[in-house]
Amino acid sequence: MTRLNLRRVRAVAGKEFIQIRRDPRSLALALAIPVFLLLVFGYGLSLDIDHVRTVVWDQDRSQFSRDFLLNFKNSKYFQIVAYADNYREIEHLIDTGKVLMALIIPKDFSHYLRSGKAAPLQLLVDGSDANTATIAMGYVRSVVASYNVNLLSNTFARKGYAVPKTLDARLRVWFNMGLTSTWFIIPGVIAMIIMIIAALLTSITVAREWERGTMEQLISTPVKAQELIIGKFIPYFAIGFFDLLVGVVMARLLFGVPFRGSYLLLAFLSMLFLTGALSQGIWISVIARTQLMASQLAALSTMMPAVILSGFIYPIFNMPQVLQVVTYFIPARYYIVVLRELFLKAGTLDSMWDEALFLFLFALMMLTFAVMRFRKKVA
């Protein structure tokens, strides 16, 4: 392998820095879009389902029914927004999307409870959003189960019997005790932003030279292929690392996500990921030769996999087996694990050895592809 001439690398890098300053739109894309995406995803995307809009039809209107409804009124998971007197009104509220579910207490509710029989209870749920409906029904089952236990205990206590022993589960959540979805989402957003922005920015660098006719001038110089690629790589590496710093600062100060790992390890593994993402963009730029085609290929090869197949939102173990195999070739999958380990679990290199190895191989492979694909010739 021929030795690099650092003077030529610096010259190419300096030329690229000048080009970035002359293109304020690209610079704004690199600096403003990450902040915008973090704000949108951080505040707008939540996996927590609270305040399920509920309509109630209490046909019994007894102390038993009122006590039962208190479990829903005092829960943060439900919000009783209306009371109905007939099914037509309930159907209208569900059809128009004003409520997600309807709770119907029959008129003999208290009679069944006094006689020691199982009291019927009707729940109507809007199933058009299957995931939310499933979670809401789980909340209702939890409320009903808790009410049944309290009812049984009170009945035994009134009759002077010993209260039956029940299971007392002591739950302890590690790493995210409050189960705050933002702590889970923000590290994934940072990984997605770095992947997409890095590839999009570098995907037009070589293609722009071809479109503007300046590539012929570069080809006529003594600059070697690897020197040209590395020189174009350096400015965008600095921008990408700055975006990472912005993301970490916003995660800590704005969203309150704890960082329990090593900042030095974060910097090292992020350099590997940035190198791979930037090299992938340059490789796409070399292949495409037009800025439009390059940006489209970069968006297609980074945005969709980073959002859908990386484990950013959707658990990988819930995907079909074929897609689970595909996710092994998505670099964002490994970087998201790295960020979540460092932010929440105080992860070390030993616990992330597989991810670090893949990120290194990804960076090496993409950089090699970019250098080998570029040829110093006009056609």
- Residue 376: is its pLDDT beyond 60? no
Residue with tokens 């959707």: 314
pLDDT at 8 over 50: yes
Average pLDDT, the chain: 85
> By mean pLDDT, which of 168-177, 270-279, 315-324 is the weakest?
168-177
Maximum mean pLDDT: which of 14-28, 154-168, 247-261: 247-261
pLDDT in tens, 96-119: 989 999 999 999 988 888 887 888
Q: Which two tokens stand for residue 215?
A: 């590539």
Domain with CATH 3.40.1710.10 in the chain: 52-158
Q: What is the Cα–Cα distance from 374 to 226, expressed in whole angstroms? A: 9
pLDDT at 156: 62
Q: Choose among 173, 163, 193: nearest CA to 30.
A: 193
* Domain 52-158 fold: abc type-2 transporter like fold (3.40.1710)
231 contacts 16 by C-beta, under 8 angstroms = yes
Angle between helices 291-308 and 181-202 (to 10 degrees): 160
Number of helices (H), then strands (E), in the chain: 15, 4
More confident residue, 124 or 299: 124
Q: What is the pLDDT of residues 210-231, one digit of tens each?
A: 777 777 677 677 778 788 888 8
CA-closest candidate to residue 83, choices 67, 97, 69, 96: 69
**Nearest-angstrom CA–CA distance, 194 and 247:** 9
Digit-coded pLDDT (tens) for 350-360: 999 999 999 99
Kindly report, residue by residue over 169-211, the tens digit of the pLDDT: 777 888 888 778 889 889 999 998 888 888 877 887 777 777 7
